[in-house]
Chain A
Amino acid sequence: MKEKKPEKVIIRIKRQESPEAKSYWEEYYIPYRPYLNIITCLQGIRKTLRTFDGRPTTPVAWESSCLEEICGICTMVINGRVRQACSALVDQLEQPITLEPMKKFSLVRDLIVDRSSIFENLKRVKAWVPMKDTQDRGPGPKILPKDQQINYALSRCFSCGACLEVCPQVNERNDFVGAAILSQARLFNRHPIGKEIQLERLKALVGEGGIEDCGNAQNCLEICPKDIPLIDSIAEINREITFNLIHLIKGK
């Protein structure tokens, strides 16, 4: 944290009205207060609708919801680093603070991008426990605490997309599903019932955009806001594929 508190916070936002429009930068001032985060700053901007020099402007489009870093919706690029805006505290950021939309997803407007591809990819790997129905059938399988701890760590992924944003393998020429999806496949392959369709999940990950596209840059591990052991997950899926190779080839 810096020692001297500034009087104002300077925020520069990359604006773009629509996917077709040209982007431009706009600058705003916010009176400094302790404990400001990026959401508080954006809330301030929408109340005045003025740029730093008093010029009227349109509302900046941005998304937020929980403000506790558990919904993942306010993910954006702040001072060049992808993270959640709600937990980005002004006191810990260099000024001027720059806000940009994530680049690996298609832009909607200003700081909003369309991340629906993440949810589509969860379908691809069947990230669920296959259940016949939800009728009463008594207790589930016993799970030891050490396994629960691993499962819990994996299941905290809130699909923010940060791991995709920093992955060099995710680009125009490549539609790698990314570390989060591989990690979810691992989670459900670990479940006593979920592993029933382990081969289907693995099959979905041997083709295009699957695990072979991982370049092992490991940026995902460093950026993940929930400290999910993504590299372990990738290694584990790799191991499962190798182990089941004969079934995977036969099943094609």
Chain B
Amino acid sequence: MDRQILLEHIAVPGIETFDVFRSKGGYNAVAKVLKELSSEDVVAEIKKSGLRGRGGAGFPTGLKWSFIDKKSSKPKYLVCNADESEPGTFKDRYLMEHLPHQLIEGMIVSSYALGVNTAYIYVRGEFKYIIGILNKALRETYSNGFLGNNILGTGYNLDIHVHPGAGAYICGEETALLESLEGKRGNPRIKPPFPASKGLYDSPTVVNNVETLAVVGPIINMGGEKYASIGLGKSSGTKLISACGNINKPGVFEIEMGLPVEEFIYSQKYCGGISNNKKMKAVIPGGSSVPILPANLILKTAKGIPRLLTYESLSEGGFETGTMLGSGGFIVYDEDTCIVRNTWNLTRFYHHESCGQCSPCREGTGWMEKVLHRIETGEGRSHDMDLLVSIASKIEGNTICPLGDAAAWPVASAIRHFRNEFEFHVAHPEIVKIKDHGSIEKYT
């Protein structure tokens, strides 16, 4: 369970530079695929590895690649989604800051596999210092002959450009990202057509997350079968988990899939337990849009089986008693947390970030924010919980992109598991009107 693939050399001084990265075997995968493998071989290797998209959806990467329209006469594009904005998620930033060449290596291999000659890295606008790091790394890669024309004398050409966003969560959705890259508002497109046939500039396009692309190099080096043997079942390989909230050691950890959640939270190697010796109240394990679970259900499934960090184990029990691995943005809440306040806060986020294209999301997120705010500030009404569940259910599934679902799930799950706290807020306005009332447990 100690296996480090992406972060193996993270502690090596200077690993962010081309020379040091190269001295640790970096870019060997580029040399190998360009000289020894066909593009089909590379896709086959990624399929064998069982790699699943690390941005949140967990879609098999090799399969996604195989959808690209090879017969199209238009140029093909690879776009790296570095618009990391899901609350609780900061793993891509960590990767790009410390291992920019790991991403570039993966992008070269992936571009070759897809027949791409121009690739873009779409970085969220707030990460300006990351853009500086990436541009510096790209310049080094060009000057060492791994990018540009006739790479390593093989006749293969590739340019990679960095493109800045400007502050919009919605641009993490792949079709909104493509709109934004075309210089437009980040309004998601209706699918189909999928980007694999009509993406950037109506050309066949693959959009992959930073972590997904970064692991492509190591997979080529070790072989797809070897990678598939790491991890557990259909959750192959390792995953970066960014842990935050009320824990002793927040940060980014690479875990082998299958690590027990309990060990991840309490081991000194990872989160180091709950800060200030408090008790754990709840966890959102995959970025703020996945369902929140109370402590007992995050540690063990409803059937009493210890929960593991895999796509399958975390979703065991469906939305009734389970959640999702999502982006691996692991937010831990201690016993003092007010669930109502936290749910209101996250709903305000989704309201702010809704692009406004679909009415259920544009209006619904605002209604939910308003109702949650009145409950939190002691103005709640007895039917408000049912009202929230009803609004959430009418947003979910009725929007062009998944932001609607992402806004509905946190509200629905908070009420499902912590309904008593919402009811207490409505019943005791005198208590919740106190600012910083924190958890209501101490009043009950």
Whether A and B are associated in the same complex: the answer reads no
